[in-house]
Amino acid sequence: MSDAARRALVDELERAFLEFSEFVRELPSDLYDTPVPGDEGSVRNILGHVVRAGYGHVEYVTELAGRPLPERRFRDPEGLDDPETFVAALLDVGRFAREALDGVPDAALEGTFTSRWGQVYDGEQMMEHATCHPGRHARQLRRFLDGELK
């Protein structure tokens, strides 16, 4: 059985979280509690949301594949307080994905499930969603910091 798709999806997820972590390194921590328009509330909440969602997206795929879940090392990401800890949490999502999906054949990603927000995904689609998610919030924060979001 092939695992080329799963390996590529995990690699891309790690790349996306690494890129987001580089963005986070540039964010002054004195902005963390600044309110941001939208549902998330503040810069800190958005950063924590990206970590929590990353874990959650991988959990959906892991459960679909029938695999045990590794430990989430950052259980309360919204409570993190400095760039280096946020970066560690973001990079841990990649570690979590590698451990959770190690050895999973591509065929195990083909089943479908309904997300908590009601959308039906297969494993590959959820990994693609998880990969796009940090970039979406990086753009949101950049637009906010540039004064485009009111």
pLDDT in tens, 99-109: 999 999 999 99
CA atoms within 13 Å, Cβ hemisphere of 42: 13
Q: Report pLDDT for 40.
A: 82
Distance CA 51, CA 139 (A): 16
104-122 mean pLDDT:
96
**Any domain includes 56:** yes
Mean pLDDT rounded to a whole number for the chain: 95
Q: Report pLDDT for 147.
A: 86
**Any domain includes 115:** yes
Q: What is the pTM of this model?
A: 0.95
27-44 mean pLDDT:
92
**Any domain includes 150:** no
pLDDT in tens, 59-101: 999 999 999 999 999 999 988 989 999 999 999 999 999 999 9
12-17 mean pLDDT:
98
**Any domain includes 119:** yes
CATH of the domain at 20: 1.20.120.450
Band (pLDDT 50/70/90 cuts) for residue 18 is very high
Torsions phi, psi for 39 (to 5 deg): -75, -25
**Any domain includes 137:** yes
Q: Nearest CA to 113 among 104, 121, 103?
A: 121
Domain extent for 136:
4-145
Distance CA 9, CA 16 (A): 11
Report whether pLDDT(150) > 90.
no
Total domains in the fold of the chain: 1
Report whether pLDDT(1) > 70.
no
